[in-house]
Structure formats: structure tokens, C-alpha cells
């Protein structure tokens, strides 16, 4: 009797898992936030962040140029 209960439990588990996965994949509410509006990088309305990024690019460019000039002198 104990083995029969185990087999019934396993069968229920084997059948319910794929059904639950199909149900979860079909629920649009779970994915609605991701589907509504794609998140863009950098954010459109964050002027300060954009300016910091431009400053970083400029500093990196100057550092790279200084390194190339130092290598060229050697």
C-alpha cells in the first residue's frame, strides 16, 4: 500500500509540474511590466547622468592620448 501511495504521488507530481509551467508561461500579468516599455540605457530624462558619462569618456580619451604620446616618445 505504501508503494502505491508513492507511485500516485510521483504520477501527480510528474503531471502537475508541466501543467504548472505551461500555466505560468501563459500568464501575461507576470511579464506585463517587462512588456510594457523597454528600459533604455542611458535613461532619456537623466541629464546629469549623461553629462557625467560624457566627462568620463573625455577623461578616458585624454588618458589614452597621453599614454600613446608617452609611448611614442620612447
Give pLDDT tens digits for 3-45.
Answer: 899 999 999 999 999 999 888 888 888 778 777 777 666 566 6
User: In the chain, how many domains are there?
Assistant: 2
pLDDT value of residue 42? 58
Give yes or no: residues 50 and 20 share one domain: no
Whole-model pTM?
0.39
At 49 the pLDDT is: 81
Claim to verify: residue 12 and residue 25 sit in the same structural domain? yes
Per-state percent for the chain, helix, strand, coil, to nearest 5: 80, 0, 20
Q: How far is CA 47 from the centre of its chain?
A: 24
Does residue 43 share a domain with residue 28? Answer: no
pLDDT given for residue 43 in this prediction: 61
Q: pLDDT digit string (tens) for 56-70?
A: 999 999 999 999 999
What is the span of the domain harbouring residue 50?
A: 39-74
Q: Are residues 47 and 68 in the same domain?
A: yes
Specify whether 32 is located in the same domain as 46: no
Amino acid at each position: 500500500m505504501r508503494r502505491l501511495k508513492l507511485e500516485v504521488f510521483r504520477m501527480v507530481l510528474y503531471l502537475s509540474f508541466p501543467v504548472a509551467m505551461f500555466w505560468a508561461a501563459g500568464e501575461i500579468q507576470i511579464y506585463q511590466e517587462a512588456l510594457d516599455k523597454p528600459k533604455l540605457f542611458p535613461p532619456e530624462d537623466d541629464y546629469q547622468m549623461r553629462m557625467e558619462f560624457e566627462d568620463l569618456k573625455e577623461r578616458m580619451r585624454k588618458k589614452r592620448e597621453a599614454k600613446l604620446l608617452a609611448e611614442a616618445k620612447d
